[in-house]
Amino acid sequence: MEIDEAREVRTTCPYCGVGCGVLAKVAADGQVTVRGDPDHPANFGRLCSKGSALAETIDLDGRLLHPEIHGRRTDWDEALDLVASTFSRTVAEHGPDAVAFYVSGQLLTEDYYLANKLMKGFVGSANIDTNSRLCMASSVAGHRRAFGSDTVPGTYDDLELAELIVLVGSNLAWCHPVLYQRIAAAREKRPEMKIVLVDPRRTMTADIADMHLAIAPDGDDALFTGLLAWLGRHNALDRAYITAHTTGFGQALFAASALDLAGVAAATGLGEDELVRFYSLFAATAKTVTVYSQGVNQSSSGTDKVNAIINCHLATGRIGKPGAGPFSVTGQPNAMGGREVGGMANMLAAHMEIENPVHRDRVRRFWNASAVAEKPGLKAVEMFQAVADGRIKALWIMATNPVDSMPDADAVETAIKSCPFVVVSDVLARTDTVRHAHVRLPAAAWGEKDGTVTNSERRISRQRSFLTAPGEARPDWWIIAEVARRMGFGEAFAHETPAEIFGEHAALSGFENDGARDFDIGFYAGVDAESYASLEPFQWPAPRPGGGATGRQPVRFFADGNFYTPDGKARFIAIRATTETRTSPDFPLILNTGRIRDHWHTMTRTGKSPRLSQHIAEPFVEIHPVDARQHGIGDADIVCISSPRGDVLVRALITPRQRQGSVFAPMHWTDQFAAKGRLDALTTPLTDPVSGQPALKHVAARIERFAAKAFGFAVMREKPGLVDTSYWAIAKCRGGWRVELAFADDTTDWTAFAGSLFDAPLAEMLAYHDGDAGQHRIAAFDGNQLSGALFIAPGPVAVSRGWAAQQLEEIHASQRERFRIVAGRAGAERPDAGATVCSCFNVGVNQIVAAVAAGCTTVEAIGNALKAGTNCGSCRSEIRAIIEANRVQAAE
């Protein structure tokens, strides 16, 4: 494709914490194209499948375009006045803690900064928390306990310099794909680099691992306390570093020694030989980076796990050095920016501490604030409990969907429904949360708003607008400032541009900061509009010239062995590994929740992309074959997963990659995409006692086969309205929509059902019924075009999904072609490609298997033959797995 460089806008991907640079271009006809920014230091031009498909997610379908009060369209003035007056009145009548903001790692730093300033500096409460609480709060707490500050010492370069990378609870291949690709590329250059994956599941990340430790759920603290004890026993400590730069080592080692090797093996479910191999490798490899994410953080002992990892790095002096250190990678695009502005209920702005009176006074003077919060506010789970019991009477939710993403989601939905006043700022008119808002405020979306985000390696990058906001949509910072002004705080919220907000945020970070605080971007204090417009990605700290030793040079935190504790020493944390049994005879399995490759959070954006929706098109549960057999569940059955909190219906995927005794299901599906797929209806409000982060990866559950009387699959041009059946899951495809179906009851009139799905009253129907065999196929044609096709069978429907969806885009002039659809078969000249593996080039599993059989036994050879894996590369690990599974056959 020819790209006009001059008209491309440099921006940043809005999905994961890798923070890839994106070049977006709008053609004269309004067509948007995106590609990776070759000059961005996070990705050097790479994008994963989600980033590559960004242009497919920016249409106006479903957008909230105007402010609404109780579903009635109104203007901004009325909506903002109502929000401001209701919040002011609630504070006046019930005190500042009767109101709350629930915000998001999707907000830009400038939005986040103003929301935090309003709540903590002028409302006088710290009741502002963020969905980042669900993502990495345990890392924040662990950093603060060990370092005295929330400092991420690692950088992406370290991953390429390391000799050993330990990935803990991190499916990098799917959740941080560009980092995975960077590691895979480094490993290709230096095959001696070793990679260990610690994960209960054999995820796609295992593809590049030398060792996969299929650890028991929540066994990580035992694994790393066991490692500390082992390092102690085997004289593998850096005693000089421990003495010079740390405190608390003796207690930490004593606590860690509570378990001997056999005890660690029992607690982790790993063999002693596996443990010794891992421990020996760690001990012998100075350049070790331990990468961890939600598998560590989303736990009732998440903070202890983080500190167990950090302890091992402190004990070996492997921190603050190139290619060595603990490294928390964040889930969201601006989780780090939220931390910087104090978007969490227990932090103040600019990494200052809310409990510290000196910090509070400093922030009060800087903001000239009328009411600085005196104590930490309610963390996410506590916040919605306070909404439920009536302590919070006015709630403003910004850029997030807690009805789907919070644990115990049904209870959260009930709480929101009961709240006297709920405001939601969102880009969409219809989400599971927006439907309960009294006031809906249309927010500008990615591509329409300006600001900054911070990625996992502390790199601040600009998100730039390249589209005009539609309707009356406005940036979040503008909405917050307008409400603040109407609440009487106009002087402090007089900002007219995001540049002004960023300049103030930067100034606060450098205010009275003589190097005692890690977060300092004082270099950009009061940045002017022009400099902000052209701001290049940079890593913090970036103190003002002369305001610190470093100026604008890259800084390696902790290189000098100094930390942000009062005595300058890092703190070991004494951790006793605990094992907790949550299962019971009624709920004998452990449910692990997470993400998939091609969807993001609650699918409000990725669900718009046909390309992203075809990789995995319905909610599913991974079950080990033994567990599946015990529960009488076959592949592709519909399964009811239940917990004491609720139940969902999902498709069974039986795989030995899953650990026996545990099941895995993704968290993306909502009421907008499935009949009963909201996974967080099952999770519990159990949290880590230090960080308040919910234990989303360890939920007691049971599985049962859903006794479907019939299964179905349908494609259709128009999105169906109400789908009247027990199980349905809808996904976008190129020519329209595809729906998976299962029926608990006997339905006799399948033609009428098809008519209700297709919304094509004038269509010509072609049908085949074999009542005895339970087979029914109905196709509806509008002229030469297919309006919809429905396939019903007594078991999971064996029709190629890709082929069926493709028929929506083709012309069906002859009766023979139409009957072929009713037959549910492609002609012999068009073999079934199988389930999509490569979304970029629409390559299916059957095509890859055929290529392997023809002698393509490397990912590169598959790429040459089919192009699969040659664009974003997100599917390369799956291709490799398919090759491995079929290689023997190919060699025979």
Which residue ranges make up the site for ligand SF4 (CB under 6 A)? 13, 15-16, 18-20, 43, 47-48, 50-51, 176-178
How many other CB atoms sit within 10 Å of the CB of residue 794?
12
Nearest-approach distance from CB 874 to ligand SF4, in angstroms: 8
| Residue burial 417-431, b: 16+ Cβ < 10 Å; e: rest | eebebbbbbbbbbeb
Nearest-approach distance from CB 42 to ligand SF4, in angstroms: 7
Instruction: Give bridge partners of residue 594 from the DSSP assignment.
Output: 666
Residue 105 in contact with residue 131, Cβ under 8 Å? yes
Distances in whole angstroms, Cα of residue 450 to Cα of each of 19, 25, 63, 475, 480: 15, 16, 19, 8, 15
The conformation of residue 720, written as its DSSP 8-state character, comes to P
Pairwise CA distance, residues 350 & 507, whole Å: 10
Closer Cβ to ligand SF4, 47 or 308, answer by number: 47
Nearest-approach distance from CB 10 to ligand SF4, in angstroms: 14
843 HSE (CA, 13 A, CB side): 25
Closest-CB residue for ligand SF4? Answer: 51
Nearest-approach distance from CB 445 to ligand SF4, in angstroms: 15
Beta strands at 128-130 and 99-103: parallel, antiparallel or unpaired: parallel
Pairwise CA distance, residues 26 & 34, whole Å: 9
Instruction: Give bridge partners of residue 647 from the DSSP assignment.
Output: 642
Closer Cβ to ligand SF4, 51 or 610, answer by number: 51
Closer Cβ to ligand SF4, 43 or 693, answer by number: 43
Residue 443 in contact with residue 433, Cβ under 8 Å? no
Instruction: Give bridge partners of residue 418 from the DSSP assignment.
Output: none
Burial status of residue 588 (CB atoms within 10 A of its CB: 0-12, 13-18, 19 or more): middle
Residue 743 in contact with residue 710, Cβ under 8 Å? yes
- Write the Ramachandran bin of 461: left for phi over 0, alpha for psi from -120 to 50, otherwise beta: beta
Residue 333 in contact with residue 12, Cβ under 8 Å? yes
Residue 678 in contact with residue 365, Cβ under 8 Å? no
Nearest-approach distance from CB 85 to ligand SF4, in angstroms: 40
Angle at the Cα of 80 (from 76 to 81), degrees rounded to 5? 115
Pairwise CA distance, residues 435 & 403, whole Å: 10
Closer Cβ to ligand SF4, 176 or 659, answer by number: 176
Closer Cβ to ligand SF4, 51 or 121, answer by number: 51
Q: What would the two tokens of residue 244 be?
A: 């010079």
Residue 628 in contact with residue 586, Cβ under 8 Å? no
Closer Cβ to ligand SF4, 40 or 339, answer by number: 40
Distances in whole angstroms, Cα of residue 68 to Cα of each of 427, 437, 695: 13, 9, 36
Nearest-approach distance from CB 336 to ligand SF4, in angstroms: 13
Nearest-approach distance from CB 177 to ligand SF4, in angstroms: 5
Closer Cβ to ligand SF4, 48 or 638, answer by number: 48
Which has the closest alpha carbon to 225: 304, 155, 171? 304
Closer Cβ to ligand SF4, 148 or 333, answer by number: 333
Closer Cβ to ligand SF4, 16 or 198, answer by number: 16
The conformation of residue 478, written as its DSSP 8-state character, comes to H
Burial status of residue 498 (CB atoms within 10 A of its CB: 0-12, 13-18, 19 or more): buried
Pairwise CA distance, residues 678 & 668, whole Å: 8
Nearest-approach distance from CB 466 to ligand SF4, in angstroms: 16
Instruction: Give bridge partners of residue 782 from the DSSP assignment.
Output: 785
Closer Cβ to ligand SF4, 456 or 592, answer by number: 456
Pairwise CA distance, residues 686 & 127, whole Å: 20
Which has the closest alpha carbon to 120: 385, 336, 383, 354? 354
* Residue 541, preceding peptide bond in cis (omega within 30° of 0): yes
Closer Cβ to ligand SF4, 610 or 736, answer by number: 610
Closer Cβ to ligand SF4, 204 or 419, answer by number: 204
Nearest-approach distance from CB 711 to ligand SF4, in angstroms: 33
Nearest-approach distance from CB 580 to ligand SF4, in angstroms: 33
H-helix or E-strand containing 712?
strand 710-716
Closer Cβ to ligand SF4, 56 or 688, answer by number: 56
> What is the per-residue DSSP string for 450-472?
-EEEE-TTSEEEEE---SPPPTT
Closer Cβ to ligand SF4, 446 or 791, answer by number: 446
Nearest-approach distance from CB 838 to ligand SF4, in angstroms: 15
Beta-carbon contacts of 75 under 8 Å, excluding residues fewer than 6 positions away, are 66, 67, 472
Closer Cβ to ligand SF4, 16 or 590, answer by number: 16
Residue 33 in contact with residue 27, Cβ under 8 Å? yes
Closer Cβ to ligand SF4, 57 or 592, answer by number: 57
Closer Cβ to ligand SF4, 19 or 154, answer by number: 19
Phi, psi of 647, deg, nearest 5: -150, 160
Closer Cβ to ligand SF4, 303 or 452, answer by number: 452
**Element counts in the chain: helices (H) and strands (E):** 30, 34
Angle at the Cα of 682 (from 678 to 683), degrees rounded to 5? 110
The conformation of residue 524, written as its DSSP 8-state character, comes to G
Beta strands at 394-398 and 710-716: parallel, antiparallel or unpaired: unpaired
